[in-house]
Amino acid sequence: MSSTGSLAGLGQKAYDQLFKQVLTRTDPEWIHHRAFSAIRAARPLTERVVGAGAARVGQPVEAMGIRFPHALGLAAGFDKNAVGIDALAGLGFGHVEIGTVTGEPQPGNPTPRLFRLPEDRAIVNRMGFNNDGAEAVARRLAARAASGRASDVVLGVNIGKTKVVPESEAVADYEKSTGLLAPHADYLVVNVSSPNTPGLRDLQAVEKLEPLLRAVRRRADEVTEPLGRSRVPLLVKIAPDLSDEDVLAVADMAMAVGLDGIIATNTTINREGLRSDAARVAEIGAGGLSGCPLTERSTAVMRLLRDRVGPDMTLVGVGGITTVADALDRIDAGATLLQGYTAFIYEGPLWPRRIVSGLARG
């Protein structure tokens, strides 16, 4: 083993011990904020050492008219407010998807709202789209672009519905976010699949989803064309809990609308087959489950989508990707790009580079 590999192995062992002895005994949301602060503070070092290494070994991917440095990105949910995009890129992610951002700022659901299930390498969250709102995030993205210190990471912006906005006004709410954020995004994602905003998943029904996506598409074009920008790619993120029939219906609709891609999948409300103590799972209660329990279903959804949409549409695989084998399986199932979140929490800051290196080896 090379000296670099030896150091990486030691670093992984140290993180594993830290996670087992400290992080599993600390409030997950509190530790998320502390860890994210540390990642931002360490940016000068990580982007020279870790991120640069991932960039060297990564295999570029052309998708949606964008050149991604490699296939792996960070899923929405980690950086909700666009405060650490470039620091996260410094860890080796080729794209970072911020959000979910809503039209209006909102605090999210009451705490506690984030829980670990270590036996399943899983997380349950019912955060409820806590974020600073589209206006604040847009200002932050504009300042980042003007600073001259922004990295070349591909930036995705994930938008969702404000909780207090009734379903009858959901389109206008998404249009507000689109108007503010599309000018700063390399691609835009409509999130209708979180289980933590009441009524949101109802928007996945094709008869509601199609007019929503057409409205977002129009608004994105209205605000970017005067800037001389190329068309901002638009994707939709779907839940693993859709029936196979509904997955295919979304695929057909995506092609009819002219979407650039589909992200599959979000978290699940299913609790079947977990190794964790049933009483503990019941105590945690409602929320979206992410991590290893999603691997099988998310891969199956990916296969359904690829078989339906053909070879050209961009499909982003997310949900239960932990190992290099998981990543290769998802690509074999039809994924163009990959995203992770829960594995990043459980495996630590060297995880992105490990996956990127493994993909390069094939």
Is 36 part of any known ligand binding site? no
Is 152 part of any known ligand binding site? no
Furthest CA-CA distance within the chain: 60
SS3 content of the chain, % helix, strand, coil (to 5): 50, 15, 30
Is 270 part of any known ligand binding site? no
Is 291 part of any known ligand binding site? yes
Is 131 part of any known ligand binding site? no
Contacts of 303 (CB under 8 A, 6+ apart): 333, 334
Is 336 part of any known ligand binding site? no
Is 132 part of any known ligand binding site? no
- Is residue 109 within 8 A of residue 125, CB to CB? The reply is no
Is 78 part of any known ligand binding site? yes
* Distance separating alpha carbons of residues 331 and 137, to the nearest angstrom: 32
Is 191 part of any known ligand binding site? yes
* Distance separating alpha carbons of residues 336 and 94, to the nearest angstrom: 13
Is 344 part of any known ligand binding site? no
Contacts of 229 (CB under 8 A, 6+ apart): 183
Q: Is the dihedral of CA 250, 127, 176, 142 positive or negative?
A: negative
Is 93 part of any known ligand binding site? no
Catalytic residue numbers read 194
Strand ranges inside the chain, DSSP E: 61-63, 66-68, 72-74, 95-102, 114-117, 122-125, 154-160, 187-191, 234-238, 261-264, 288-291, 314-318, 337-340
Is 109 part of any known ligand binding site? no
Q: Binding site residues for substrate, as ranges?
A: 80, 125-129, 191, 196, 266-267
- Annotated binding-site positions for FMN: 76-80, 100, 158, 191, 237, 265, 291, 320, 341-342
Annotation: binding site? 76-80, 100, 125-129, 158, 191, 196, 237, 265-267, 291, 320, 341-342
